[in-house]
Amino acid sequence: VGRSKDNRSRWGFTGGADLGCECGAAMQTMSHLIACPLCPETCSREDLMCASGRALAVAAYWADKV
């Protein structure tokens, strides 16, 4: 579970703010974050589960953005 705009909205932390991603996607979900065109690296759920280098690069990119 991560801090996507979609999840933060479900948890009541967005105050009705826009749920879209800066890339233009309508919803910033966890699935979107790992494949977003703004991120220089993409990864799969399997990469996340084993903390691969790709997953770490994606996490580092989003760490200060979401």
In this structure, how many other beta carbons lie within 10 angstroms of the beta carbon of residue 57?
16
- Say what the pLDDT of residue 15 is: 74
Q: How far apart are CA 57 and CA 16, in angstroms?
A: 30
55 token code pair: 């997953």
Contact 39, 49 (CB under 8 A): no
Q: What is the domain partition of the chain in residue ranges?
A: 5-62
Question: Mean pLDDT of successive 10-residue segments in the chain (66 residues)?
Answer: 85 83 94 95 96 96 87
**pLDDT given at position 1:** 65
Cα–Cα distance for residue pair 64/44, rounded to 1 Å? 21
Nearest to 35 by CA among 13, 52, 17, 45: 45
